[in-house]
């Protein structure tokens, strides 16, 4: 059983002759040689549904924080809150509301859909792109067991980028950038972006350039091209809201991950027996 940091490559698989199951506690399995393992008769499992809600909540923690200058305010208040309170109040007085705005979701699988549900709950308009889905019927459930259904018809990536005020990425690891300079050029001026998916889906150099030009107002990263050593230019940028790959790092998500893995392991060994 592994998480995202441990690599299960051909050498490990070949040197574990009694191995029967490789389990990934999380969604993406790019750290595992899945096809090779399955060719050798191994079961490879993951927990695609367990962390969806926790990642979506982190996306909105970043979005709400950036929209109201919380990262910068939390840096400045301890330094100047007692001497420049009025100046800081003026600096951070031009926040924006999410209600009534459009969120563009790139990748509309389980996590993208969980993000969409939260956006709808905040009164946002949702536009989504996914190469494998045309229509999704989202069920938005409430504490009193009532539900409302929203039908989301996916559109082209280009249209999502053009229409969105806020953009959230929910795609697996890619060989090429999903967001690069041409994609930034399609976006509205002053857009907000969150990547809580995988490092390497955004060109980080192009992102910094877009932040410097004002094309992107603020961006949030939970994942990086160079983990566990993100580029210093990212770490020091005052328009970036940063977390250390903690999308699934809630107590509730970890419990769901453990339960889901255990249930799958039990089912596999019952089949073998």
Question: Are residues 203 and 107 part of one domain?
Answer: yes
Task: Using CB atoms within 10 Å of the CB of residue 236, give its burial: 0 to 12 exposed, 13 to 18 middle, 19+ buried.
Answer: exposed
Question: Are residues 61 and 81 part of one domain?
Answer: yes
CA gap 73, 103 in Å, rounded:
24
> What is the average per-residue pLDDT within 60-78?
96
**Total domains in the fold of the chain:** 2
Instruction: Tell whether pTM > 0.75.
Output: yes
Residues 89-135 have pLDDT tens digits of 999 999 999 999 999 999 999 999 999 999 999 999 999 999 999 99
The range of the structural domain enclosing residue 26 comes to 10-50+251-272
The string over 9-31, giving b where at least 16 C-beta atoms fall within 10 Å of a residue's C-beta and e elsewhere, is eeebbeeeeebebbbbbbbebeb
Q: Does residue 4 lie in a domain region?
A: no
Judge whether residue 273 has pLDDT over 80. no
Question: Are residues 98 and 191 part of one domain?
Answer: yes
Question: Are residues 213 and 97 part of one domain?
Answer: yes
Residues 152-202 have pLDDT tens digits of 999 999 999 999 999 999 999 889 999 999 999 999 999 999 999 999 999
Q: Does residue 198 lie in a domain region?
A: yes
Question: Are residues 140 and 58 part of one domain?
Answer: yes
Q: Does residue 158 lie in a domain region?
A: yes
Question: Are residues 205 and 160 part of one domain?
Answer: yes
Question: Are residues 198 and 144 part of one domain?
Answer: yes
Report the CATH number that the domain containing residue 24 is assigned in CATH. 3.40.50.720
The 10 Å Cβ neighbour count of residue 243 is: 15
pLDDT value of residue 49: 86
Residues 203-223 have pLDDT tens digits of 999 999 999 999 999 999 999
The 10 Å Cβ neighbour count of residue 75 is: 11
Q: Say if residues 50 and 253 touch (Cβ distance below 8 Å).
A: yes
Residue whose C-alpha is closest to residue 216's, from 244, 243, 195: 195
Question: Are residues 255 and 171 part of one domain?
Answer: no
Question: Are residues 118 and 157 part of one domain?
Answer: yes
User: Which residues form the catalytic set?
Assistant: 198, 227, 245
Q: Does residue 167 lie in a domain region?
A: yes
Question: Are residues 62 and 39 part of one domain?
Answer: no
Question: Are residues 172 and 104 part of one domain?
Answer: yes
Q: Does residue 93 lie in a domain region?
A: yes
Question: Are residues 260 and 172 part of one domain?
Answer: no
Q: Say if residues 160 and 107 touch (Cβ distance below 8 Å).
A: no
């Amino acid at each position: 059983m592994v998480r995202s940091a441990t690599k299960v490559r051909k050498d490990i698989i070949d040197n574990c002759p009694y191995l029967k199951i490789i389990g990934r506690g999380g969604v993406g399995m790019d750290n595992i040689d899945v096809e090779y393992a399955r060719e050798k008769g191994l079961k490879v499992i993951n927990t695609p549904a367990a962390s969806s809600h926790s990642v979506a909540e982190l996306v909105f923690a970043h979005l709400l924080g950036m929209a109201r200058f919380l990262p910068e305010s939390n840096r400045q208040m301890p330094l100047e809150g007692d001497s420049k309170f009025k100046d800081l109040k003026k600096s951070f007085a031009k926040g924006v509301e999410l209600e009534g705005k459009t969120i563009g979701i790139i990748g509309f699988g389980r996590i993208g859909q969980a993000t969409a549900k939260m956006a709808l709950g905040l009164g946002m308009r949702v536009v989504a792109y996914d190469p494998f889905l045309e229509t999704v019927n989202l069920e938005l459930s409430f504490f009193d067991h009532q539900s409302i259904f929203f039908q989301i018809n996916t559109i082209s990536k280009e249209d999502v980028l053009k229409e969105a005020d806020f953009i959230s990425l929910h795609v697996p690891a890619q060989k090429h950038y999903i967001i690069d300079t041409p994609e930034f050029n399609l976006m509205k001026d002053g857009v907000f972006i969150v990547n809580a998916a995988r490092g390497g889906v955004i060109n980080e150099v192009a992102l910094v350039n877009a932040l410097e030009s004002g094309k992107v107002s603020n961006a949030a990263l939970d994942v990086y091209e160079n983990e566990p050593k993100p580029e210093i230019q990212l770490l020091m940028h005052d328009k970036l809201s940063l977390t250390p790959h903690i999308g699934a790092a809630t107590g509730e998500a970890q419990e769901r991950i453990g339960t889901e893995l255990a249930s799958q392991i039990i089912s596999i060994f019952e089949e073998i027996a």
